[in-house]
Amino acid sequence: MLNILIFGPPGCGKGTQSEFLAIQYNLKHLSTGDIFRENIKNKTDLGIEAKTYIDQGQLVPDFITINMLGEKMQSKSDFNGFLFDGFPRTIKQAESLDDFLFKMNQEISMMICIEVPKEELVKRLLKRGKSSDRADDQNKEIILSRIKVYKEQTEILKEYYDQKNKFFNIDGMSTIDDVKQKIFSLINNHQK
Ligand code: AMP
């Protein structure tokens, strides 16, 4: 099985690259941000609760996010593995993910982090905010808060996976296609 974790700050290109990766390697794409947005759109209890955090650029509490992801992992059918996008974002989430996978006799194969400097992230997110209905991309304060949360609570996960020799870094400051090729080569080399 190939279980990939695509990682990096908001706006680094995780969602865009995930679409290519899911198709190329036949992975089940699980984006916690997308799942929350779907719930918000459908006004579910989960969506209503999550919205209060998302609108402020804060993380949705671990117990809510972990339960939600655990449920989504149940239906894997004929995929070659999972592609985790936007999860984990805290050490607690990473430990829970290890447990979930362990119970399925599996583990994370690679964590691929796309690095992009802060000024570029703000630029990209504000641009995306103009063409999407994502409120959290339309306000600079919220964007800065999301980047701060990443730095303070999430970035430490690079060390978590590095200690397991699963951390791989990619420069995200080139074209979408270039980043895609770099990620594909990393995975292909890893599979050899
Ligand atoms: P994203 O689409 O990944 O940028 O996520 C949008 C927002 O959803 C984040 O700013 C968080 O408020 C929330 N969110 C997404 N994934 C997680 C997670 N793993 N843990 C906590 N909150 C999350």
Task: Parse the chain into domains and list their residue ranges.
Answer: 4-191
What is the 3 state secondary structure string of the chain? CCCEEEECCCCCCHHHHHHHHHHHHCEEEEEHHHHHHHHHHCCCHHHHHHHHHHCCCCCCCHHHHHHHHHHHCCCCCCCCEEEEECCCCCHHHHHHHHHHHHHCCCCCCEEEEEECCHHHHHHHHHHHHHHCCCHHHCCHHHHHHHHHHHHHHHCCHHHHHHCCCCEEEEECCCCHHHHHHHHHHHHHHHHC
What is the pLDDT at residue 75?
Answer: 74
What is the pLDDT at residue 76?
Answer: 63
Residue to substitute in 89, 146, 148, 152 for testing ligand 1 pocket (most ligand atoms within 8 angstroms of CB): 89
What is the pLDDT at residue 157?
Answer: 98
Structure tokens that stand for 174 in this block: 């080139």
CA 112 to chain centre: 10
Report how far ligand 1's centroid is from the alpha carbon of 127 (Å).
Answer: 19
Which amino acid type is present at position 55? D
Contact between 164 and 95 under an 8 Å Cβ cutoff? The reply is: no
Report how far ligand 1's centroid is from the alpha carbon of 192 (Å).
Answer: 33
Q: Active-site residues: which are they?
A: 14, 89, 128, 134, 146
CATH number of 4-191: 3.40.50.300
89 CB near ligand 1 (under 6 Å): yes
Q: Give the whole-angstrom CA distance, residue 161 versus residue 112.
A: 10
Contact between 148 and 141 under an 8 Å Cβ cutoff? The reply is: no
Report how far ligand 1's centroid is from the alpha carbon of 36 (Å).
Answer: 8
Q: Whose CA is nearest to atom 6 of ligand 1?
A: 33
Question: What string of pLDDT tens digits covers the 192 residues of the chain?
Answer: 999 999 999 999 999 999 999 999 999 999 999 999 999 999 999 999 999 999 999 999 999 999 999 999 997 678 999 999 999 999 999 999 999 999 999 999 999 999 999 999 999 999 999 998 888 999 999 999 999 999 999 999 999 999 999 999 999 999 999 999 999 999 999 988
